[in-house]
Amino acid sequence: MLQLPPATAAFMFIIAVVVFPVTVVCSSFPAGVLQLERVFSLSEKIELEVLRARDAARHERILQGGGGGGGGGGGVGGVVDFAVQGSSDPYLVGLYFTRVRLGTPPREYNVQIDTGSDILWITCNSCIDCPRTSGLGVELNFYDITGSSTANAVSCSDPICTTMVPSASSQCSAETKQCGYSFQYGDGSGTSGFYVSDMLYFDMILGNSMIANSSASIVFGCSNYQSGDLTKSERAIDGIFGFGQQGLSVVSQLSSRGITPRSFSHCLKGGGNGGGILVLGEILDPSIVYSPLMPSQPHYNLDLQSIAVNGQLLPIDQSVFATSSNRGTIIDSGTTLAYLIEEAYDPLVEAVTGAVSQSTKPLTFKGNNCYKVLVSVSNLFPLVSFNFAGGASMVLRPEDYLVHMGFVDGAALWCIGFQKVQKGLGVTILGGLPLILGQLNKGGKLEHNWRSRV
C-alpha cells in the first residue's frame, strides 16, 4: 500500500461494482464504519530497498495467482466505512490493517487489507506453530469456533463449498467433512484451514445517525496452518481481509444480501498523521470522476492512457499500457510503492529531471534517482498527472511522488518514489505512493476525487 501527500491532499480511487452506467446521486443509504491502521509504527523508518524486496515477493504472488470470477449480485444497500490510520510517507512503510468483529459474543481481530486476494481469513486457536506475539505492537487474537454461539463449520456438501469455493484452493476433509482451503503464495508463504460461517458486526450510519452493532452472517477462513513469512512474529497479525472479485469476498457476500452495493473504496490520506478511510459501498459525491475498470480481468485493471509532466504529455506509445494477461495497470493495496514499466518510467524521470535542471543535478543514491534540494520541493519540482479513460486524472504534487531520504552536504535529499518494473514485465502497479487505493466491480467504475472527505 502506498501513501500520499500532506494533510489536505486525500486521493481516492473508488470502484463501484455495477453492470449499468454509473451516476453519482445523493441518497441516504445506511453506512457502517471500520478502522484501518498502519501495520508498522509511524516512527519506524524503512529503506526503499526493503520495500522493493517486499513488493517483489508480493508481485510474484499476484501475477502468478488467478483472480476470480464474479459472484454476488449488485444489491443496493448502504455503506460501511472504516477510518484509516497511517502516514502518507512511504519511507515509513505503507502497510495498513483494520479491525473486524466476529462471533457471538463478538471479538476483535486485526486483519491486513489486501485487494490482491479474495478471502477473509483469521488465525484459529488450533493453528500449529503460528506466531503468538507480534512485533507490530498489537495483541494477537485467535478465533475459536467453539467459543461463538453463532459459528458453524461449512461442510463439504454445503452449496457454498460446492459452488462458490474456488476449486484450485478447496479441499475437503474425509475425516471431518469440513470445506477446506489452501492458499500458496509466490513468496513462499501459505495458509490452510477450513471455512466457517459466523456473524460479522459493523456500525451503520443513516443520515446523521449511527446505528451500532449491525450484523450479517458471512463465510470466512479459519487458518490452522501457516508457512513462510506468515510465521514470523515481527509482522504477525490476526489474518488477511481480501477484497478481490470472487463470490466469497466480504464485499460480494454483503452485496448479495443487499446490505451494501458491490463496490468499495480505500483512501490513504497525506499529512504527518496520515490516516484515511475504507468504504464498503458507494461514495456519494457529485464531483467524483469515473473511469471504467477493464472487464474480464482477474485483478483490478485500469485503462491508463497517458502521463504528463507540467501538463506536457510524455512521448509514450499508448499501446504499452494496453491490458492483456501479462500487461496493463493494476491497483494493489498490498504493494507499498508504485511500479512503472520501463517505457513509462524512463521518460518520466527524464522529464522531471529536465524540469529542475537549472536548480539541481540528479544523483544516484542506493539505486534511486535523487536530487539535492536547498528549497521547498513544492516550488521547484513539476506536477505529474496520470490520465485514465473517462477523463479521470490523478495529479501528483512533488510531495506525492518524491521521498525525503535525509540530508547530504547540508541539502535535503529527495528521491523519486516510482520504481522501474523489471525488464520484460509489462505490468504497471499502482500501490500506495501516489495511489490511494481503490475498489472494484464487475464492469465497474473507478471514481477519482482529490481532497474529498468521506
Catalytic residues: 114, 332
CA atoms within 13 A on the CB side of 206: 7
Separation CA 318–CA 387 (nearest Å): 11
Tell me the DSSP string of 304-322. Answer: EEEEEETTEEP---GGGG-
Q: Which residues pair with 179 in a beta bridge?
A: 172
Burial of residue 285, with CB atoms counted within 10 A of its CB: 0-12 exposed, 13-18 middle, 19 or more buried: middle
> Dihedrals φ, ψ of 139, to 5°?
-85, 130
* Distances 334 to 97, 220, 338 between C-alpha atoms, Å: 10, 20, 11
* Distances 243 to 81, 120, 221, 249 between C-alpha atoms, Å: 14, 8, 14, 6
Separation CA 269–CA 133 (nearest Å): 29
Q: Assign residue 334 a region: left if phi > 0, alpha if psi is -120 to 50, beta otherwise? A: alpha
Separation CA 384–CA 359 (nearest Å): 18
Helix (H, G, I), strand (E, B) or coil at 153: strand
Q: What is the DSSP letter of 56?
A: H
Separation CA 448–CA 452 (nearest Å): 9
